[in-house]
Structure 1
């Protein structure tokens, strides 16, 4: 499974990238605005933080087919000096609107890697996969406002499996660790998780208590805080 960070917080991304095995970083227009910086400056920093092997996902802002394609060509070449070269680890996020689905299909022809986003149903995602989207980002928590979001994502995983579709589900829009847990248990290919939820997955008060007990017992027995004298 691929574990991806859904954030533009450079410092937290750096820390989590050191702590965990991170496949890459996803952003969207809202996430980039939260940085209170010029968006492309943040993208530049992300390119520096991530290794060449890690994935970076940037979303288009324009909503017309022509505008999406213009930005898709630019985004796909961000990690290359030559704009005509598509970086294999640079992905364009495109919402599954009518114009977006058309653009995903065109990007497939041009060799531009895409992630279909703003997905609220398994059917939307499946159609995007048929158009050539390599990643599908269902909005898990938001889907819960319209039904069982977690189950809908599980349905999508099964739909792709039985139809032998190569697209990966990269579940997004998480608000708690339970949602992430359930989809990992279901065999999801990827999750993109906000920093705060990732920290909740890492940290547990019981672990801190246990480590404290180990230290106290060791200090009492040997009067030191190291394994050897």
Structure 2
């Protein structure tokens, strides 16, 4: 009996010596609630993202809100959409290449405002969800690494832009110097393509988010 107790004590001691394993967590990006950030349409002017890949650079004093904090797997994303009028929808459809669409994008940042689009979710049609916040589960979850940035690719247009915010709130688009006022030229990135994010747009916020399951 004494020997059995001794062995049990050894096993328990060995168990206590094992390293602790952190559990997987479901992490929202960003952690900051959008608050009163409401996309502008049908107000006039009606703002929308057009034919680009973009990411939110800053919200107030907060930077890096869309930067992945831990290795994990991107499993879903959501976007808050305004409800443009039929006339506004027709204008954007004709001006920006067709029906409203978007996809979640994963960026690896480089030097001098360059970034590589390392992965992208399935392109989703947004028109049926105008006036709502909609969440899309990815058919193929995307592995992500700490330091990656989560953005939004818009091959046509998306009414997901809140305007008239503070001058300390801004987002960047995959457009080169001298093209910041051109929303009709296609600048949405393709997977593995490197883009330059020169154009910074102040007083506006892209109202999107994502969910990541961290790697234990």
The verdict on a shared fold, with TM-score over 0.5 as the criterion, is: no
Counting strand residues as a fraction of each chain, which structure ranks higher?
A: 2
Question: Which structure has the bigger radius of gyration?
Answer: 2
TM bucket normalised to smaller: under 0.3
